[in-house]
Amino acid sequence: MSQKQVFKPNREFAKDARIKNMCEYQALQDYATEDYEGFWGDAAKEKLDWIEPFSNVLDESKAPFVNWFDGGKLNVSAQCIDRHLHVRKNKAAIIFEGDRGDVQTITYLDLYKHVNRFANLLREDFHVKKGDRVVIYMPMIPEAAYAMLACARIGAIHSIVFGGFSSEALRDRIEDAEAKVVITADGAFRKEQPYMLKPVVDAALTGKTPVKKVLVVQRNHEDVEWVAGRDYSYNEMISQKKSKCEPEVMDSEDPLFLLYTSGSTGKPKGVQHNSAGYILWAQMTMEWVFDVKENDTFWCTADIGWITGHTYIVYGPLAMGATTMMFEGVITYPDSGRPWKMVEDHKINQFYTAPTAIRVLHKTGEHEPSKYDLKSLKVLGTVGEPIDPPAWKWYYEEVGKGKCAIVDTYWQTETGGHVISPLPGATPIKPGCATLPLPGIMAEILNPATGEKVGVGEKGYMCITKPWPAQIRGVWGDEERYIKSYFGDVEKDGKPVYFSGDGAVYDEDGYITITGRTDDVMNVSGHRLGTAEVEAAIKKHDNVAEVAVVGKPHPIKGEGIFAYIVLKCDEGVADEVEEVKAINNIIKKEIGSIALCDDIVFAPGLPKTRSGKIMRRILRAIAKGEKITQDISTLEDPGIVAQIEEMVK
């Protein structure tokens, strides 16, 4: 199956779809092009429940800092819950399936009560106020969603840290955001065994910390340390709280959350999203890209610690009043039929996952889908990295039985929601191709040198040339970094435009294929990791003199981590196995298991230019096992290349 093959939308499906054909798509895109503010202003009026209407659609006077819907007042938790109570209070808002198969259905009315109690607890007992930062370090349990929405209700800014991050990574994020409260759990269950989170929080809070209170949800009921005056039990406190809490009246541009993500330096960036624009686009993309209908059940397998979990497990589905599935466990446990069993059991209509998961499910359970009734499925989605044709084909044929559209959604933490994606009832799809910008998104592949749109087949930079409502509003505490990271590389008509960090190419139909990062950010199992971040962790090992980390293609993870390490001792490595262990332990402690190296080579030196710059291109080529064709005579020590090549063989 090549990228040239085109698959038309399922006609039956298209009949009822919100966007039914390419003419409708084009009409929306034309409207946005002709009257940008009209397009977005109409959408915001129609989709959002305003406490007070906005007076201005877009203010670009301080670009690249932008304001959307100024003057408007709303509350995101009310948008996600309260407004649904008249129409769907007994409808399932969240269906939770635990690792061990335990199921909980939480209706919109239940959700209202849980979130209001939680909000009262934070407000009354922990004195959390509008604008305060709250770190959430939680497993995939409904209380994580309640915590997010409770923060939104009282105007606190949440910052979720993925539960796989280590205590050091958690500590950095807590300190950067100056969070005063951490919400966590004792732990949860994975493969029927309890695992722990609270000890990681304890370790992150040793020494000086801005955190005053820790709220602990007891999920696995294992013993944990308890710091008197700091740690409180959610389970004990929550039943005493009132189930009504007035939502804080928020400005359109009041911050909703921070989410730290990797960039090209060692320090993660706190990506800031604000209220109105973010929730508007979360809802609109749910409606357009997944085309979720009133009685549908939607399942996104991401973790709430990533942007995909924020937008497509919690905010998007709830804003539109959908039923969203939440899963605590591992998709290959007890076997690779687990997700298909869940599709059958819960009659899932839209299934959204990452290519790395599809590859694992394909490899370990090729024929599992046919053992289950998957008739409910209408739309399949992927996100996080380009999907390779074999995985795409299996997903399309075995899971979707050739009748479900695959929406290959391209977006980022910074874009808040999808920006380039097929529409399931309209866009003819091609394997591995994100296709076209969504209506309202002015995405273009530009030549960074000229700022002009590239021609067919010519690689360029994936840019967005106009602000959009769900765009990143800033890097927490660092205005310069926001400008430099996103608006420093490409100008169009003399004006800086948003550059994603990704390369891309147009085909003859104008379809966009993302070719991958152009910077030093890796994409490991769909997770973003900066090479500099991993290098900074490895450098903490006493014996390490120098290190260079590169990504290397990996059959399951997409990209694996390859580290070249120069040790301090001249005699070489005493015990390689022990050194590798020690280095991996440091990575685990500093970042977490997601950043463990797939390959470590103890090199005698690194290829550098005479000015001392490490030639990563050469290291990437060696890691891939490619022949070095470029001129290496300008290197400080050209002989080093052959030595490293010999070691990697």
The first and second tokens of residue 609, run together, are: 């230019």
From 132, 385, 533, 535, residue interacting with ligand WTA (rule: CB under 6 A): 385
The site for ligand WTA, by CB under 6 A, has a size of 22
Binding mask 106-135 for ligand WTA (x = CB under 6 A): ------------------------------
Nearer to ligand WTA, 174 or 521 (CB): 521
Residue 278 binds to ligand WTA (criterion: CB under 6 A): no
Give CA–CA dist 100/98, Å, rounded.
Answer: 5
Nearer to ligand WTA, 72 or 305 (CB): 305
DSSP string, 380-405: EEEESSPPPHHHHHHIIIIISTTTSE
Q: Which stretch binds ligand WTA (CB under 6 A): 99-107, 118-126, 384-392, 609-617?
A: 384-392
| Phi, psi dihedrals of residue 91, rounded to the nearest 5° | -80, 145
| CA-closest candidate to residue 380, choices 361, 357, 359, 399 | 399
Residue 434 binds to ligand WTA (criterion: CB under 6 A): yes
Least Å from the CB of residue 203 to ligand WTA: 25
Residue 261 binds to ligand WTA (criterion: CB under 6 A): yes
| Phi, psi dihedrals of residue 222, rounded to the nearest 5° | -80, 160
Least Å from the CB of residue 98 to ligand WTA: 26
Residue 410 binds to ligand WTA (criterion: CB under 6 A): yes
Residue 429 binds to ligand WTA (criterion: CB under 6 A): no
From 384, 425, 469, 551, residue interacting with ligand WTA (rule: CB under 6 A): 384
| Phi, psi dihedrals of residue 468, rounded to the nearest 5° | -130, 160
From 76, 183, 383, 406, residue interacting with ligand WTA (rule: CB under 6 A): 383
From 413, 435, 518, 525, residue interacting with ligand WTA (rule: CB under 6 A): 413
Q: Which stretch binds ligand WTA (CB under 6 A): 12-20, 407-415, 531-539, 588-596?
A: 407-415
From 98, 255, 381, 386, residue interacting with ligand WTA (rule: CB under 6 A): 386
Residue 501 binds to ligand WTA (criterion: CB under 6 A): yes
Give CA–CA dist 329/301, Å, rounded.
Answer: 10
DSSP string, 293-354: -TT-EEEE-S-TTSHHHIIIIIIHHHHTT-EEEEE-S-TTSS-TTHHHHHHHHHT-SEEEE-
Least Å from the CB of residue 504 to ligand WTA: 9
Hey, which residues between 301 and 320 contact ligand WTA (CB under 6 A)?
306-308
Nearer to ligand WTA, 325 or 406 (CB): 406
Residue 408 binds to ligand WTA (criterion: CB under 6 A): yes
Least Å from the CB of residue 435 to ligand WTA: 10
> What residues contact residue 575 under an 8 Å CB cut-off, 6+ apart?
none
Q: Which stretch binds ligand WTA (CB under 6 A): 4-12, 221-229, 423-431, 498-506?
A: 498-506
Nearer to ligand WTA, 181 or 512 (CB): 512
- Find where tokens 């649904």 sit: 84
Least Å from the CB of residue 616 to ligand WTA: 17
Least Å from the CB of residue 521 to ligand WTA: 7
Residue 500 binds to ligand WTA (criterion: CB under 6 A): yes
Q: Which stretch binds ligand WTA (CB under 6 A): 16-24, 383-391, 561-569, 608-616?
A: 383-391
Least Å from the CB of residue 499 to ligand WTA: 11
- End-to-end alpha-carbon separation of the chain, Å? 32
| CA-closest candidate to residue 196, choices 225, 236, 155, 238 | 225
Nearer to ligand WTA, 254 or 408 (CB): 408
Residue 169 binds to ligand WTA (criterion: CB under 6 A): no
3-state secondary structure of 445: strand
Q: Is 334 left (phi over 0), alpha (psi -120 to 50) or beta?
A: alpha
Residue 436 binds to ligand WTA (criterion: CB under 6 A): no
Least Å from the CB of residue 263 to ligand WTA: 10
Residues counted in the chain = 649
Nearer to ligand WTA, 247 or 270 (CB): 270
Residue 412 binds to ligand WTA (criterion: CB under 6 A): yes
Residue 298 binds to ligand WTA (criterion: CB under 6 A): no
Q: Which stretch binds ligand WTA (CB under 6 A): 131-139, 208-216, 494-502, 614-622?
A: 494-502
Least Å from the CB of residue 47 to ligand WTA: 22
Strand pairing category for 512-517 and 521-524: unpaired
Q: How far is CA 294 from CA 91, 246, 247, in A?
A: 10, 27, 26
> What residues contact residue 265 under an 8 Å CB cut-off, 6+ apart?
530, 532
**Dihedral angle computed from the Cα positions of residues 489, 490, 494 and 496, in that order, rounded to the nearest 10 degrees:** -70
| Residues 364, 392 contacting (CB under 8 angstroms) | no
Q: How far is CA 201 from the centre of its chain?
A: 22
Give CA–CA dist 473/475, Å, rounded.
Answer: 7
DSSP string, 578-609: HHHHHHHHHHHHHTBGGG--SEEEE-S---BB
List of residues contacting ligand WTA (CB under 6 A): 261, 306-308, 383-386, 408-413, 434, 500-502, 514, 517, 523, 528
